[in-house]
């Protein structure tokens, strides 16, 4: 167990420091967002190589994590490339001035690396436990994961089409999945990690992955996801307050009549 967790920490450290060095060279800290999903793929494969657990569960966790992480990384690369540094990092750069590169090593890259290690605990420990092969709990986890992946993929595709339409400029996206939750991609992300945690939890020690899923959900719902994004959207999107009044912030449900 210690080897998997230790090697995962080393892999994350190398990845995040390398990404930080590249961000200093290109003067764009936004590249960390692209690397976020890819980092979990690295953790999954390191755990697969180092871990000594059930082979079927190892491959299941590795493939599930890789599909999610590669899809997210590719989508963010396509979405962010050519648009400059994200407003969050521009604000930090303006605040810290010449010290921003060093500050960002800790507050951006170091923090995200630490969170990556915590969130991926299930992927790590679930691959280092020789418990019996995949069972009922894992199948429930796969179902939850697939629901989450559906919400992420479809939600991102619907939003991309909406933004590509010139008539949508300044308007609120409230169609498709976005009619039932203001953030279907964040809801999907949380489901993906609860699904992975359930697959890992079947091993016993992998149940620590439930902590990782909880941390990811709190981040998405209360910290860097819904809360942070909506501070900006309230100012930039006409009718967003009305959208908030009728639409669930996270869990999908029919819109309220107002």
Tokens for 197?
């945690």
Helix axes 184-201, 209-218, angle to 10 degrees: 170
Angstrom distance (rounded) from CA 126 to CA 115 = 18
pLDDT at 109: 97
pLDDT digits (tens, 9 = 90+) for 137-160: 999 999 999 999 999 999 999 999
Q: Which residues of the chain have pLDDT under 50?
A: none
Given a contact cutoff of 8 angstroms between Cβ atoms, the answer to whether 172 and 237 are in contact is yes
Query: Residue 51 phi/psi, 5° resolution?
Result: -65, 160
Give pLDDT, residue 1.
61
Residue 206: the pLDDT is 85
**Three-class DSSP category at 126:** coil
Report how far Cα 175 is from the mean position of its chain's Cα atoms: 23
pTM: 0.91
Predicted confidence at residue 194, as pLDDT, reads 97
**Other CB atoms within 10 A of residue 251 CB:** 10
* C-alpha 258 chain-centroid distance: 33
pLDDT for 235 equals: 65
The residues, any chain, with a CB within 8 Å of residue 110's CB and separated by 6 or more, are 16
At residue 242, the pLDDT reads 85
């Amino acid at each position: 167990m210690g080897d998997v967790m230790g090697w995962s920490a080393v892999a994350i450290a190398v990845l995040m420091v390398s990404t930080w060095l590249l961000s200093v060279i290109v003067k764009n800290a936004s590249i960390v967002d692209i690397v976020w999903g890819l980092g979990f793929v690295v953790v999954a494969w390191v755990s697969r190589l180092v871990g000594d657990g059930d082979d079927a569960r190892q491959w299941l966790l590795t493939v599930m994590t890789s599909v999610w992480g590669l899809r997210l990384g590719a989508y963010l690369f396509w979405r962010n490339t050519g648009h400059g540094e994200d407003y969050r990092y521009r604000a930090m750069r303006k605040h810290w001035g010449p010290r921003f590169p060093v500050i960002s090593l800790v507050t951006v890259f170091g923090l995200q690396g630490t969170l990556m290690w915590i969130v991926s605990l299930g992927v790590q420990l679930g691959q280092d436990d020789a418990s019996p092969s995949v069972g009922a709990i894992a199948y429930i986890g796969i179902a939850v994961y697939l629901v989450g992946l559906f919400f992420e993929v479809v939600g991102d595709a619907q939003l991309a089409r909406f933004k590509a339409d010139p008539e949508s400029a300044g308007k609120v996206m409230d169609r498709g999945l976005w009619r039932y939750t203001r953030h279907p991609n964040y809801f999907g992300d949380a489901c993906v990690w609860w699904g992975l945690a359930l697959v890992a939890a079947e091993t016993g020690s992998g149940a620590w992955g439930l902590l990782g899923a909880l941390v990811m959900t709190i981040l998405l719902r209360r910290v860097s996801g819904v809360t942070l994004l909506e501070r900006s959207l309230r100012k930039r999107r006409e009718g967003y307050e009305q959208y908030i009044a009728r639409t669930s912030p996270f869990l999908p449900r029919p819109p309220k009549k107002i």
